[in-house]
Amino acid sequence: MLTLYYKMHCPYSLRVRLILAEKQVPFSRRVVTEGEEPADLVEISGGEVPVLVDDSFSVTDSTVIAEYLEDAFARPALRPPDARGRAVIRTATCRCECLGSSLHLGKPSR
């Protein structure tokens, strides 16, 4: 069973939750509140969220988590099958991340 550590109002955490929902992948939720740093989360990522734990394997950074989920749970596919289509998606993702980082107050978490 997958476990996702996330903050409710973090846009990067939202990205991962949306992918999990679209792929209909069951997962356990570990909501981290502001100011809270669970010891296991600190050990895994230094307290940063989102973090996806798959058994003893942990993935940090929403972009890497998204790629991991796409590779591990191929259906339904959320990326285009061709290189050009995937390049367009990556470009849009980079632009959104830049915008999100500029709007995010405080320490950005990815």
Range of the domain at 40: 2-103
DSSP state of 55: T
Domain of residue 34, CATH code: 3.40.30.10
Tell me the one-letter amino acid at 102.
Answer: S
Structure-model confidence comparison of residues 94 and 22, the more confident one = 22
Q: Which range is least confidently modeled, 6-20, 24-38, 79-93?
A: 79-93
Is omega for the bond preceding 76 within 30 degrees of 0, making it cis? Answer: yes
Q: How confident is the model at residue 105 (pLDDT cuts 50, 70, 90)?
A: very low
Strand 51-54's sheet: what is its strand order? 27-31, 2-6, 51-54, 57-60
Count the neighbouring beta carbons within 10 Å of the beta carbon of residue 67. Answer: 14
Into how many domains does the chain fold? 1
- Residue 46 inside a domain? The answer is yes
- Nearby residues of 25 by Cβ (< 8 Å), 6 or more positions away: 2, 69, 73
H-assigned helices in the chain = 11-23, 39-45, 62-72, 83-103
Q: Tell me what pLDDT residue 79 has.
A: 79
How does pLDDT run across 48-88, given as a tens digit for each residue?
A: 899 999 998 999 999 899 999 999 998 887 777 889 988 88
